[in-house]
Amino acid sequence: MDLFSKLKEMQTLLIDDDEWIRDSLCLFFESEGCRLLAFETAEEALEELKNQSYDLIIVDYKLPGMDGLEFLRQIQKAHSNTLKVLISAYGSNEVVSEAKKLGIHDFIEKPFTSETIEASLAGVIKSY
């Protein structure tokens, strides 16, 4: 399976309050010809999800306002078929366990590299 061939067919959403991560992942996806829409807050992403569905959502745990777990709770029913990846520098067992109950397909600990993202997404997309 070629990861980027699959990603090119997918709508991907990123939610992270770290501008450097948003910009870096947008450039990474763009350099591979893939689409990625990035938001700083979960609230902005929820507004977007009212009008557009996504195949893959990558969400940070610690966000201003609503955190990543609450975001996952709010989209759980309406977006149950969406692939979800949680990223965080605060990956306690409790957070990861709760996130798995909310339907995440993988967890990536910060700091991460492009290789880490590629490996995670390749594993997640196998089920797509």
Residue 14 lies in a domain: yes
Confidence (pTM)? 0.95
> Which are the contacts of 89, defined by CB distance < 8 A and separation ≥ 6?
62, 109, 110, 111
Q: Which helix (H) or strand (E) holds 126?
A: none
Residue 118 lies in a domain: no
Give tens-digit pLDDT for 80-125: 999 999 999 987 899 999 999 999 999 999 999 999 999 999 999 9
Q: Tell me the CATH number at 97.
A: 3.40.50.2300
Residue 67 lies in a domain: yes
Give tens-digit pLDDT for 40-74: 999 999 999 999 999 999 999 999 999 999 999 99
How many domains are contained in the chain? 1
Residue 83 lies in a domain: yes
The residue range of the domain holding 83 is 3-109
